[in-house]
């Protein structure tokens, strides 16, 4: 164990915020058994490059785990929705007036009853949503798949800025995943989705990942599909190369042509975006002359500001007639696939070449900073949306409640006496938390571990950069359990239930109070450091901090005065939180945690 002085600016920031927000907790005794008291978690990340916001914008436009973006426009307002998998609330909906500054308007699935998802691995759940506007009835639609749950469904609202979405309407005849809707100019509507050929009753050309894009007409007046299922594309844009995983389809009617744009190659290093065209919406699609229209798979991994795995795109046209694309990408810190902050949302202008859209000519790297064109400069000049700063988002909660970007690991079951849990409404008091007027959050211990497939007492936020720091102050009295384990509370860094880190106050095997730092890989405790506490220290609140020394080295420290911090053990291996090791689709999150389960 060694004592170190944290960088003065970081220490001053943490001390000032914690002491101000949690002044009541500083002088009060430890809370009663079964409760952990936290001051607001403060997260701050490193913005990777400098840029001039007057002349350029920074990619990603949504840093952190915001994958599978879909975009639409109504008048001068733009909306994006992204995947959340097993996290609650589901489907964050973002709003912008200039395509660069985005504000979170709420979540399409914010009520417990909207997400009938069983306790599954966090990689399951809400996949690849699409948002669209129907001028026929003035409603916005989000269509989506719950993998491992109810299948395909849609929700609606008349105004995304209200943050109030309908209950899900199931679409049992829509096969596969990644559905999307085209509301056509003649009042008709179509739903396209991706399904393996075998699942569609067809013979695959190759064994793994040979998908078809299917279409059904959508009777939006009655909220159901109708007519005969049709096949729009299969075997990929170039069947001779055995491309896999044709998915994420979006159907567009542009001019006198219909374009079918799809992701291809899987969402890893081989990811790409391809496009087909036809004179009609229900068939006759042929690959466009230029394909793929977006990929980074052929570029060297050693390039500066590496952005990789690009694909799963959506197109939007501005009021002035220009086109832009949002798409997912990753920023590895080692090799071409070690990243912890998940698949993020990027934005690029679209070029039209020989009558077809191209997001980025093959061989060009995705730029980290992008010049603002004249239209975006004009939009920015008129913009009134401050935008969300994912690198410095502010406290995870304050005296008014938990932040709108907070996340739960799976659905919290409503508390006794609650008919439903509504994230948009129940910000101060929830199923296992309560926030007082000083901003201190009481977290009730549940017999659910973060290492299980349940919903633990944990409130988290996305890790948004390769380098970051986070801190909170904990007041907690651990107690022994009959099985010789003890209750625990503290910091949680979570990729999934088998890949995580926890820095908690608990009791060791002898019943003595300790701070415990665990690195858990493949479900097993790979590294553990116990720091014994004196009786005096055990009776005090303790400040807990994590900071990255490098993108793959996570250092944990503690303090009893918020000024001088002591390193807890050695730095842990950040690759434990990577998507590569997790084998999943989501990025890592950080938060507070308390349990009586281990």
Residue 11: pLDDT band (50, 70, 90) is: very low
pLDDT confidence tier of residue 199, bands split at 50, 70 and 90: confident
- List b or e across 529-553, with b for residues whose CB sees 16 or more CB atoms inside 10 angstroms: bbbebeeeebeebbbbbbbbeebbe
Which pLDDT score is estimated for 375? 95
Confidence of residue 33 (pLDDT cuts 50, 70, 90): confident
Inter-residue contact 190 to 215 (CB < 8 Å): yes
Query: What pLDDT was estimated at residue 20?
Result: 41
Strands (E), 395-508: 397-398, 401-402, 408-409, 433-435, 441-444, 457-462, 468-476, 488-496, 499-507
Mean pLDDT comparison of 31-40, 318-327, 409-418, highest-scoring range: 318-327
CA–CA separation, 289 vs 295, rounded Å?
A: 16
Confidence category of residue 189, pLDDT binned at 50, 70, 90? very high
Asked if pLDDT for residue 30 goes beyond 90, the answer is: no
Residues 278-309 pLDDT 10s: 999 999 999 999 999 999 999 998 898 999 99
**How far apart are alpha carbons 553 and 574 in whole angstroms?**
5
Q: Which two tokens stand for residue 4?
A: 């170190």
What DSSP designation does 114 have? G
Mean pLDDT of 118-147: 95
CA distances to 82, 84, 127 from 148, in Å: 18, 14, 10
Cα 214 to Cα 227: distance, rounded to the nearest angstrom: 12
Residue among 331, 462, 330, 340 at smallest CA distance from 391 = 462
Q: What is the pLDDT of residue 91?
A: 97
pLDDT for the residue 22:
44
Cβ proximity of 79 and 364 under 8 Å: no
Of 277 and 585, the structure prediction assigns the larger pLDDT to 277
| Mean pLDDT score, 48-77 | 95
- Find out whether 298 and 363 touch, Cβ atoms under 8 Å: yes
At residue 55, the 3 state secondary structure works out as coil
Indicate whether this model's pTM tops 0.75: yes
| Cα→Cα distances 125→131, 145, 411, 570, Å | 18, 8, 11, 35
For 295, the 3-state DSSP assignment is: strand
Q: What is the mean predicted confidence (pLDDT) over 76-93?
A: 97
DSSP type of residue 412:
P
Q: For residue range 121-133, what is the model confidence (pLDDT) as tens digits? A: 999 999 999 999 9
User: What is the predicted pLDDT for the residue at 28?
Assistant: 53
pLDDT in tens, 221-238: 999 999 999 999 999 999
Q: Is the pLDDT of residue 19 over 50?
A: no
- Cβ within 8 Å of residue 440, ≥6 positions away: 21, 22, 24, 25, 37, 38, 39
pLDDT at 400 over 90: yes
- Bigger pLDDT: 149 or 327? 327
Q: What is the pLDDT at residue 24?
A: 46
157 has a pLDDT exceeding 80: yes
Tens-digit pLDDT profile for residues 265-282: 999 999 999 999 999 999
Query: What does the block give as tokens for 140?
Result: 């916005």
Q: Which is more confidently placed, 2 or 559?
A: 559
How far the first Cα of the chain sits from its last, in Å, is 26
CA distance 115 to 304: 41
The beta-strand segments (E) located in 30-136 are 35-38, 42-45, 56-58, 70-74, 77-81, 87-88, 90-96, 103-109, 125-134
pLDDT of residue 29: 64
**Strand order of the sheet with strand 151-157?**
125-134, 139-147, 151-157, 169-170
Judged by DSSP in three states, 316 sits in strand
Cross-strand partners of 377 = none
Q: Residue for token digits 């349990």? A: 595
Pairing of strands 369-371, 56-58: antiparallel
Q: Name the more confident of 48 and 59.
A: 59
Residues 6 or more apart whose Cβ sits within 8 Å of residue 390 = 45, 62, 63, 64, 462, 464
Are the C-beta atoms of residues 557 and 565 closer than 8 Å to each other? yes
In the chain, the domains with their CATH numbers are 3-41+395-595 (2.60.120.200), 65-382 (2.115.10.20)
Mean of pLDDT values over 350-377: 96
Of 566, 561, 569, the C-alpha closest to 540 is 561
- Phi and psi (nearest 5°) for 577? -95, 5
pLDDT of residue 117: 81
pLDDT of residue 202: 87
Does residue 454 register a pLDDT over 80? yes
DSSP H or E segment with residue 24 = helix 23-27
Q: Which residues contact 410 (CB under 8 A, 6 or more apart)?
A: 86, 87, 88, 117, 119, 122, 453, 454, 455
Query: Confidence class of residue 4 from pLDDT cuts 50, 70 and 90?
Result: very low
Query: Is pLDDT above 70 for 541?
Result: yes
9-13, 88-92, 318-322, 323-327: the lowest-pLDDT one? 9-13
Asked if 391 and 45 touch (Cβ cutoff 8 Å), the reply is yes
Peptide bond into 398 cis (omega under 30): no
**Greatest extent of the chain over all pairs of C-alpha atoms, in Å:** 78
CA distances for 239 relative to 236, 248, 281, 468, angstroms: 6, 18, 22, 44
């Amino acid at each position: 164990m060694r004592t170190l002085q944290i960088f003065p600016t970081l220490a001053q920031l943490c001390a000032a915020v914690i002491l101000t927000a949690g002044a009541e907790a500083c002088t009060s005794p430890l809370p009663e058994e079964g409760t952990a008291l936290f001051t607001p978690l403060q997260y701050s990340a490193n913005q990777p490059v400098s840029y001039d916001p007057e002349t350029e914008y920074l990619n990603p436009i949504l840093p952190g785990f915001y994958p599978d973006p879909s975009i639409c426009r109504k008048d001068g307002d733009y909306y994006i929705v992204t995947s959340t998998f097993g996290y609650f609330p589901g489907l964050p909906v973002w709003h912008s007036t200039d395509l660069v500054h985005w504000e979170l308007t709420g979540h399409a699935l914010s009520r417990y009853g909207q997400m009938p998802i069983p306790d599954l691995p966090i990689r399951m759940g809400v996949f690849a949503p699409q948002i669209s506007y129907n001028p026929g009835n003035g409603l916005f639609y989000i269509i989506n798949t719950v993998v491992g749950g109810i299948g395909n469904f849609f929700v609606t609202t008349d105004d995304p800025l209200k943050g109030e979405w309908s209950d899900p309407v199931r679409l049992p005849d829509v096969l596969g995943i990644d559905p999307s809707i085209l509301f056509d100019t003649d009042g008709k509507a179509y739903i396209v989705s991706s399904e393996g050929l075998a699942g569609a009753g067809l013979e695959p050309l190759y064994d793994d990942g040979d998908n078809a894009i299917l279409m059904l007409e959508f009777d939006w007046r009655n909220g159901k599909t109708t007519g005969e299922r049709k096949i729009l594309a299969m075997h990929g844009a170039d069947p001779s190369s055995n491309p896999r995983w044709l998915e994420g389809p979006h159907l567009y009617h542009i001019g006198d042509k219909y374009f079918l744009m799809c992701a291809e190659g899987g969402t890893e290093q081989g990811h790409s975006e391809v496009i087909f065209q036809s004179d009609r919406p229900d068939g006759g699609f042929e690959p466009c002359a230029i394909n793929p229209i977006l990929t980074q798979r052929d570029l060297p991994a050693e390039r500066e500001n590496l952005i990789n795995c690009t694909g799963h795109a959506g197109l939007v046209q501005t009021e002035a007639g220009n086109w832009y694309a949002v798409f997912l990408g990753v920023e590895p810190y080692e090799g071409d696939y070690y990243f912890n902050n998940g698949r993020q949302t990027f934005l690029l202008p679209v070029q039209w070449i020989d009558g077809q859209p191209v997001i980025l000519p093959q061989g060009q790297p995705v730029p980290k900073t992008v010049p603002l064109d004249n239209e975006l400069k004009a939009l920015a000049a008129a913009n009134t949306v401050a935008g969300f700063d994912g690198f410095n988002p502010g406290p995870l909660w304050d005296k008014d409640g938990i932040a709108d970007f907070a996340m739960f690991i799976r659905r919290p079951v409503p508390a006794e006496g609650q008919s439903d849990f509504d994230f948009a409404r129940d910000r101060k008091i929830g199923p296992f938390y309560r926030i007082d007027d000083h901003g201190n959050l009481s977290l009730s211990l549940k017999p659910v571990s973060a290492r299980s497939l349940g919903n633990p007492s944990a409130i988290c936020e996305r890790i948004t950069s390769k380098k970051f720091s986070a801190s909170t102050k904990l007041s907690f009295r651990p107690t022994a359990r009959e099985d010789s384990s003890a209750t625990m509370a503290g910091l949680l860094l979570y990729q999934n239930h088998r890949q995580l880190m926890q820095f908690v106050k608990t009791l060791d095997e002898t019943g003595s109070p300790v701070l415990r730092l665990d690195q858990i890989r493949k479900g097993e405790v790979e590294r553990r450091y116990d720091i014994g506490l004196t009786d005096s220290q055990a009776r005090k609140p303790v400040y807990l901090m994590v900071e990255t020394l490098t993108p793959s080295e996570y250092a944990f420290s503690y303090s009893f005065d918020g000024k001088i911090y002591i390193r807890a053990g050695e730095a842990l291996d950040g690759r434990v939180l990577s998507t590569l090791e997790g084998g999943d689709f989501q990025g890592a999150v950080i938060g507070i945690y308390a349990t009586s389960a281990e």
